[in-house]
Amino acid sequence: MSDLPASAPTLFTWEFASDPYPAYAWLREHAPVHRTTLPSGVEAWLVTRYADARQALADTRLSKNPLHHSDDAQGRSKVGIPGERSANLMTHLLNIDPPDHTRLRRLVSKAFTPRRVAEFAPRVQQLTDRLIDDFAARGTADLIHEFAFPLPIYAICDLLGVPAEDQDDFRDWAGMMIRHDLPGGKRTPRGGVARAVKRMRGYLAELIHRKREELGASEQDDDLISGLIRASDHGEHLTENEAAAMAFILLFAGFETTVNLIGNGAYALLREPAQRARFQDAVARDDQEWLSGAVEELLRFDGPVEIATWRFATEPITLGGQRIAAGDPVLVVLAAADRDPERFRRPDVLDLSRADNQHLGYGHGIHYCLGAPLARLEGRTALATLLRRLPDLRLAADPDDLRWRGGLIMRGLRTLPVEFTARP
Ligand code: HEM
């Protein structure tokens, strides 16, 4: 690679956020398991090689429970999702280990089987078309605010069983939770994330309560929250707190990730005309199998989850030749692993027909993404419909002017202005 930094790169600056890949290439080569101080002040190990990353994701000596963090209570409060601690939402899948993890994951996994998700396909198609209808006649759009952002939130609301009249509130809280530039250019103020999480927590408690009462009258509702309540009522040992934490993590894990899959995916296609032409040919042929493979490559090439969520060593371990002390936080850099030349041929090239593409974009091991079948459905439907309905879609901004959001875990654009021939 020509633009490999000559010396240790500075991480987590705005410049790094816009293109972290050269810095990751340097780390993979010179410091594959690298101790760094994060912007929050927390010290953590970054794992950047594919083989080490895969091993770490499956290593049972790396716990997901923040109580294993050796730092004091103040340090602990800096890891995890902002606001989850104060809103009493800690007991979710990404913070727990077996046997609790096994029990809770079993309860929700039936909602995410490929068959259940396929039943959801007409609804995702309808949402996608409705969003495109709203801007198709204008000839311009911001694909993040008007398309990538609302689609997953409405899909998850439907899945959870949030009534239609409450979904716009949900959309606003979700926007604040990811520090999104809100429509109209406002950014979430300091403390706004925790406040939004708290409001959503209050809403979920009320919704769970309401659904529990309604369920008495009818056993028919098959949304996810009703399913969780029914499971707990039938002796599956699910507390109200666990049910709320589950709804919360489904929203949190399933929302910004999918926004970024659609945003990063559309951006990559718009920047690579030859690959985009192949994608459009497959859309015209309705070749769903090829399109599914193409979406996997978009995930590998510039995936939504740049760094997997926190892990903590429960005992001293050696990873990639590096000694890691008990209690140390370990962050697996999926974006670096998925560009490792030891694993992928020409890793910095987008090749939508790539075979042998076992990327780590959905993680690996027992915390492998529960929502992957839904994410795949949403990503494929959104990108294919967009390019079918707006075939001359093009970027309406200089790529150098586009800003990326600067969070630690996720990678996604703030805005994606596009133009196309208006279709009244
Ligand atoms: C876990 C990626 C969409 C629900 C994960 C993990 C990754 C990931 C990397 C593992 C994190 C770790 O081990 O630290 C993605 C990507 C998505 C996506 C790239 C979109 C393109 C979704 C959706 C849902 C979802 C749509 C549900 C509605 C979850 C849940 C977990 C998870 C519940 C935790 C699983 C566990 O701990 O057992 N996801 N995700 N994700 N994801 Fe996704």
CA–CA separation, 131 and 303 (whole Å): 23
Give residue-wise pLDDT tens across range 113-162.
888 888 899 999 999 999 999 999 999 999 999 999 999 999 999 888 89
Does the residue 3 lie in any domain? no
Mean pLDDT of the chain: 89
CA–CA separation, 308 and 366 (whole Å): 13
SS3 state of residue 46: strand
Does the residue 167 lie in any domain? yes
Does the residue 424 lie in any domain? no
**Residue indicated by tokens 């410091």:** 31
Does the residue 136 lie in any domain? yes
Q: Is residue 261 in contact with ligand 1, taking CB distance under 6 Å?
A: yes
Domain residues for the domain of 319 are 14-419
| Ligand 1 atom, smallest distance to 159 CA | 28
Give residue-wise pLDDT tens across range 363-392.
999 999 999 999 999 999 999 999 999 999
In DSSP terms, which residues pair with 318 in a beta bridge?
323
Does the residue 9 lie in any domain? no
Q: Residue 176: give its domain's CATH number.
A: 1.10.630.10
* Ligand 1 center–CA 46 separation, angstroms: 20
| Ligand 1 atom, smallest distance to 249 CA | 33
**Does the interface ipTM go beyond 0.95?**
yes
Does the residue 240 lie in any domain? yes
Which of 46, 162, 257, 259 has most ligand 1 atoms within 8 Å of CB, for mutation? Answer: 257
Query: Structure tokens of 200?
Result: 């959503």
Q: Is residue 295 in contact with ligand 1, taking CB distance under 6 Å?
A: no
CA–CA separation, 196 and 174 (whole Å): 7
Total structural domains within the chain? 1
Does the residue 2 lie in any domain? no
Does the residue 4 lie in any domain? no
Mean predicted confidence (pLDDT) in 54-66: 96
Q: Nearest 5°: CA angle at 41, between 36 and 44?
A: 35
- Cα–Cα distances in angstroms (integers) from residue 42 to residues 31, 62, 95, 178, 286, in the given order: 19, 17, 18, 20, 48
Give residue-wise pLDDT tens across range 333-351.
999 999 999 999 999 999 9
Q: Is residue 363 in contact with ligand 1, taking CB distance under 6 Å?
A: yes
pTM over 0.80: yes
Mean predicted confidence (pLDDT) in 309-317: 96
Task: Judge contact between 363 and 105, C-beta under 8 A.
Answer: no
| Ligand 1 atom, smallest distance to 363 CA | 9
pLDDT at 182: 41
